[in-house]
Amino acid sequence: MPKALPPKVLFIYYSFSGQTNGLLNHLAIGLRQEGVEVVMEKLRPLKPLRFPVGNIPQTLIMMLTTFFRARTPLQPRSKLINKKYNLIILAGPTWSYNPSGPILSLMDQDGEALFRDQKILPVISCRGYWRMHWYGLRKKLFKCGGQVPNHIVFSHPSKEPWRTIGVFLKIAGKAPERLRIFGKFYQRYGHSKIQLEEAEKFGALIGQTLKENKDLAAINFHTDIALP
């Protein structure tokens, strides 16, 4: 009997400060362990965005414009994303309660062409406030004719209010984790090592589910590690 071809998964993603990137690298390790073929396509802004932004006024402007869902124009996409995949993982950070500018641009430009009749698993990296982003993105994907059986969210494990202030300072180009008093409450920006390990486990679970042709909706991604 001919051997079944391995499932193929396309990652379409944007990452500003490397957090989504880290999660996806680990998801990919888990998927590849299960024999899944992974293709990665990073969205590249026409005018590259610099992380950190570098100062407080520019950071405030970025927060405000992204609250009003400012789009980030993109470079032309590669041919890889025109092929057929068993699953598309659409990943990126939350920006002011919304999907990031590059993902919004992609949805405007290519949403229908890419996602119609496709199975899509959104992956969100955020400091902690992701629901509006998720509901908005799911609505857009449904409108394009996509199927969205599940979603993955990872939020930063630091406690509030340090997490919000820490993210703001980090984007502005400061090193909040090194500040004398603040640093006691805020040890690091972004996701933890155990969250990356969790992403790897999620990758393996997705791989098994695809191989067995089962429903991704049955996986519980809302664990205490992903969403502490």
Ligand X SMILES: Cc1cc2nc3c(=O)[nH]c(=O)nc-3n(C[C@H](O)[C@H](O)[C@H](O)COP(=O)(O)O)c2cc1C
Separation CA 124–CA 142 (nearest Å): 17
Give the separation between CA 82 and CA 51, rounded to whole angstroms: 30
Among 10, 28, 90, 95, interactor with ligand X by CB under 6 A: 95
With CA atoms as reference, report the closest residue to 169 among 17, 2, 9: 17
Residue 122 engages ligand X in binding (rule: CB under 6 A): no
Q: At what angle do helices 162-172 and 56-67 cross, to 10 degrees?
A: 110
* Token pair in block for residue 127: 């400091």
User: How far does CA 102 lie from the centroid of its chain?
Assistant: 12
Q: Does 134 bind ligand X (CB under 6 A)?
A: no
Contact 116, 84 (CB under 8 A): no
Q: Is 65 helix (H, G, I), strand (E, B) or coil?
A: helix
By CB under 6 A, tell whether 94 contacts ligand X. Answer: yes
Q: Contact letters (x/-) for ligand X, 21-60, by CB under 6 A?
A: ----------------------------------------
**96 contacts ligand X (rule: CB under 6 A):** yes
Total residues at interface with ligand X (CB under 6 A): 23
CA atoms within 13 A on the CB side of 87: 29
Given a contact cutoff of 8 angstroms between Cβ atoms, the answer to whether 120 and 107 are in contact is: no
User: Exactly one of 9, 20, 26, 38 binds ligand X (CB under 6 A); which one?
Assistant: 20
171 binds ligand X (CB under 6 A): yes
Give the whole-angstrom CA distance, residue 124 versus residue 122: 7
Pick one of 125, 150, 158, 195: the residue that binds ligand X (CB under 6 A): 125
Q: Between residues 125 and 150, which has the closer beta carbon with respect to ligand X?
A: 125
* Residue 16 makes contact with ligand X by CB under 6 A: yes
Of the pair 28, 210, the CB lying nearest ligand X is at: 28
Q: Does 93 bind ligand X (CB under 6 A)?
A: yes
Q: Does 129 help bind ligand X (rule: CB under 6 A)?
A: yes
For ligand X, the binding residues (CB under 6 A) are 15-20, 62-63, 66, 93-97, 125-130, 167, 171, 190
